[in-house]
């Protein structure tokens, strides 16, 4: 497969900061408003160190999406893991503008679902997307996600 997920590591901070800065305008309609520090190497390193702590505690699993050459194309997170009777999590992801329309998100979500169900033993993965994010809706529909509600703001 030309695209793959790999767990984030703190050493990804410089590349992720550069990617986040280059994608700031592209992601603005979909991402929460971020403080300026988020777009710096130091800000990304802090986020990645927190991702390591969350992974170790079983709360969240952060990944980068790469191409065959190892170039970063985006991020994906299996977040808010709930254990017990429910065994579920939420999935969130973003793809660089230059990589959209190439099946990157579809491949990444497929790989994340395999990890969630096969490796983590989860029973359900849910996605919270904005209703007007048609590209993400198509990716999720491809993987047989079902729309089950609309949260009012």
- Residue 153 falls inside a structural domain: no
Tally of structural domains, the chain: 1
- Residues of the domain holding 83: 3-142
Cα(130)–Cα(151) distance, integer angstroms? 10
Give me the tens of pLDDT residue by residue for the chain, a chain 153 residues long.
589 999 999 999 999 999 999 999 998 888 888 899 999 999 999 999 999 999 999 999 999 999 999 999 999 999 999 999 989 999 999 999 999 999 999 999 999 999 999 999 999 999 988 888 999 999 999 999 998 887 776
**DSSP bridge pairs for 66:** 4, 72
- Residue 37 falls inside a structural domain: yes
- Residue 147 falls inside a structural domain: no
Question: Edge-to-edge strand order for the sheet containing 3-7?
Answer: 3-7, 61-67, 72-82, 88-95, 124-127
- Residue 31 falls inside a structural domain: yes
User: What's the predicted TM-score (pTM) here?
Assistant: 0.93
- Residue 150 falls inside a structural domain: no
- Residue 122 falls inside a structural domain: yes
Residue 69 sits in a domain whose CATH number is 3.40.630.30
- Residue 45 falls inside a structural domain: yes
- Residue 62 falls inside a structural domain: yes
């Amino acid at each position: 497969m030309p695209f793959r997920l790999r767990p984030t590591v703190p050493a990804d901070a410089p590349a992720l900061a550069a990617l986040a800065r280059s994608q700031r305008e592209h992601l603005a309609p979909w991402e929460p408003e971020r403080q300026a520090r988020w777009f710096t190497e130091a800000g990304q390193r802090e986020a990645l160190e927190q991702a390591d702590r969350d992974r170790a505690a079983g709360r969240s699993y952060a990944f980068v999406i790469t191409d065959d050459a190892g170039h970063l194309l985006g991020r994906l997170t299996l977040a808010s893991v709930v254990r017990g009777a429910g065994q579920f999590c939420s999935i969130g992801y973003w793809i660089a503008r230059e990589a959209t329309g190439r099946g990157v998100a579809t491949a990444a979500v497929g790989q994340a679902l395999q990890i969630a169900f096969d490796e983590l033993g989860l029973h359900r993965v849910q996605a919270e997307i904005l209703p007007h994010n048609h590209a993400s809706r198509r990716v999720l529909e491809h993987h047989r996600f079902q729309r089950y509600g609309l949260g009012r703001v």
